[in-house]
Chains A and B, each alone.
Chain A
Amino acid sequence: MNGGQDLGGMQGFGPIAPEPNEPRFHAPWEKRVFGLAMAMGATGTWNLDASRAARESLPPGEYLTSSYYAIWLKALERQVKAHGLATADELATGTVSAPAAPVKRVLEGTEVAPLFARGFPSDRPVAAPARFAVGERVRALTINPPGHTRLPRYVRGRPGLVEAVHGGFIFPDTNARLAGEAPQWLYTVRFSGRDLWGEAAEPGHTVSVNAFESYLEPIP
């Protein structure tokens, strides 16, 4: 969706502001939210793409004025309620008043180290051959899906060059709405600064994005 998360090329935010000796977390609640989001993700009730979709579906004004972990918190609360795992009243009071709903699994303390050291790969086999080859010119489609997508606005409609073919990967647009992994070929597509930003683009710069096959069309 064309939400507050799709920031590439926006102007007016001012300077980048690194914080010297920045701590990993800025408040006790931030680390709890981080851990809760990871642990709830492990229940298998939703997936990473669905969590991204929940975060970016905050209204743009709210997204842009919320801190990073506040966005995580608001999304997690929404997900927990939407999946019937807790009620708004329970979240408001911190007191359980409704029965627990079943979840697929519960992450145990002893599982964290081995599972997270291994990771959660998202490559998947795709039966069909890749439609595009390295060196081929392609155009990113002009699309504006109302749901989750990973094709940023600033490349839509622009011509680019396929510079890598990565194999099959879970397609976020369907996976985010729990409609299946529907894996697709994933590419790296490189765009020139001039094609993205026009004549005033900084010279000699390119931007590469990872694009799923259905985001692209051939340039005849």
Chain B
Amino acid sequence: MPHDHHDEHHDDHPHPHGSELSPMDLRVRALESVLVEKGYVDPAALDALIETYETKVGPHNGARVVARAWVDPGFRERLLADATPAMREIGVGGRGGEHMVVAANTPDEHNLVVCTLCSCYPWPVLGLPPVWYKSPPYRARAVIEPRAVLAEFGVALPEATRIRVWDSTAELRYMVLPMRPAGTEGLDEAALAALVTRDSMIGTGLPRAPGASS
């Protein structure tokens, strides 16, 4: 039972009356009021933080990195050798991605990223992680039965393909470079980026096939 569905899980619709705020909304509102009034938190900073991570930082950034690596062998080489400066070349980096490592999938080897201890996924390339990356089932199972986890996601790998799991236990952040899908020879970088899913960049999924609906 990883989530609490009693008092914490409310819809996002604004309530017409303050009295209808959930207990959690009220509790957080009290905390925010005190921290702002005491001068520890600038409300403008709070708004900027939320806006940045709600609207600006997301998997479209990682998709650009992957697409560039698919079309530019020199970039790919630099990315696999030292990912942080390579990503900076195209303006990707920042909080939660200060020390990036990229692991490339090959026909022989599939990579899977997890943080068993908390929620260490690379924000600048993925955005804030979804609940399930951070929830007990994925964190518990990815290291002990990665093939079963992948099968559950419809990723059936050949028996001979080795699986490398990366548990992010320090401040290095891992991103998977998926294999470029077949039949994409004529696509430009932007069209390729549109095939890259968030989950393909932690290895729980594969990029979309060209022509498949998104």
Q: What is the bound-complex CA distance between A122 and B94, given in angstroms?
A: 12
Interface string of A6-37 (1 = CB under 8 A from B): 11111101111111001111111101111110
In this complex, how many residues of chain B approach chain A with their Cβ under 8 Å: the count is 88
Q: Chain A nearest CB: distance from B53 CB in Å?
A: 7
Write the chain A residue with the least CB distance to B3: A67
Cβ–Cβ contact B47 & A52, under 8 A: no
Decide if A174 is an interface residue (CB 8 Å cutoff): no
Q: What is the bound-complex CA distance between A190 and B163, given in angstroms?
A: 12
Of residues A33, A39, A111, A197, which shows the largest number of chain B Cβ atoms within 10 Å of its Cβ?
Answer: A39
Interface string of B179-213 (1 = CB under 8 A from A): 00000000000000000000000000000000000
Of residues A7, A100, A120, A203, which shows the largest number of chain B Cβ atoms within 10 Å of its Cβ?
Answer: A7
Write the chain A residue with the least CB distance to B96: A119
Contact of B49 among A15, A38, A121 (CB under 8 A): A38
Cβ–Cβ contact A211 & B137, under 8 A: no
Cβ–Cβ contact A65 & B41, under 8 A: no
Cβ–Cβ contact B42 & A94, under 8 A: no
Cβ–Cβ contact B47 & A109, under 8 A: yes
Given contacts A17-B137, A43-B40, A56-B118, contact A27 B25 (CB under 8 A): yes
Given contacts A116-B52, A119-B95, contact A202 B24 (CB under 8 A): no
Contact of A13 among B31, B39, B137 (CB under 8 A): B137
Cβ–Cβ contact A17 & B132, under 8 A: yes
Q: What is the bound-complex CA distance between A188 and B169, given in angstroms?
A: 10
Q: Chain B nearest CB: distance from A203 CB in Å?
A: 8
Cβ–Cβ contact A19 & B47, under 8 A: no
Interface string of B160-186 (1 = CB under 8 A from A): 111111111111100000000000000
Q: What is the bound-complex CA distance between A162 and B153, given in angstroms?
A: 31
Q: Chain B nearest CB: distance from A89 CB in Å?
A: 10
Q: Chain A nearest CB: distance from B153 CB in Å?
A: 8
Cβ–Cβ contact B165 & A112, under 8 A: no
Q: Chain A nearest CB: distance from B200 CB in Å?
A: 13
Interface string of A186-217 (1 = CB under 8 A from B): 10101000001100011111111111100000
Cβ–Cβ contact B12 & A94, under 8 A: no
Within A41-66, which residues are at the interface with B (CB < 8 Å)?
A: 42-43, 52, 55-56, 64-66
Given contacts A16-B137, A16-B141, contact A67 B31 (CB under 8 A): no
Cβ–Cβ contact B4 & A67, under 8 A: yes
Cβ–Cβ contact B98 & A120, under 8 A: yes
Contact of A29 among B28, B40, B44, B97 (CB under 8 A): B28
Within A144-199, which residues are at the interface with B (CB < 8 Å)?
A: 150-152, 154, 166, 169-170, 172, 186, 188, 190, 196-197
Write the chain B residue with the least CB distance to A28: B25
Cβ–Cβ contact B167 & A65, under 8 A: no
Q: What is the bound-complex CA distance between A92 and B115, given in angstroms?
A: 33
Q: What is the bound-complex CA distance between A121 and B85, given in angstroms?
A: 13
29 pairs, A vs B, C-beta closer than 8 Å: A7-B139, A8-B142, A8-B167, A13-B137, A16-B149, A19-B130, A31-B50, A32-B46, A52-B117, A65-B2, A66-B8, A76-B31, A86-B38, A94-B34, A106-B45, A107-B41, A112-B45, A119-B96, A119-B97, A123-B171, A152-B167, A154-B144, A166-B172, A202-B147, A205-B147, A205-B164, A206-B162, A206-B165, A208-B167
Top-3 shortest CB links A-B: A109-B44, A94-B30, A8-B116
A contacts, CB < 8 Å to B: 5-11, 13-19, 22-29, 31-36, 38-40, 42-43, 52, 55-56, 64-70, 73, 76-77, 80, 85-86, 90-96, 100-101, 103, 106-113, 115-123, 150-152, 154, 166, 169-170, 172, 186, 188, 190, 196-197, 201-212
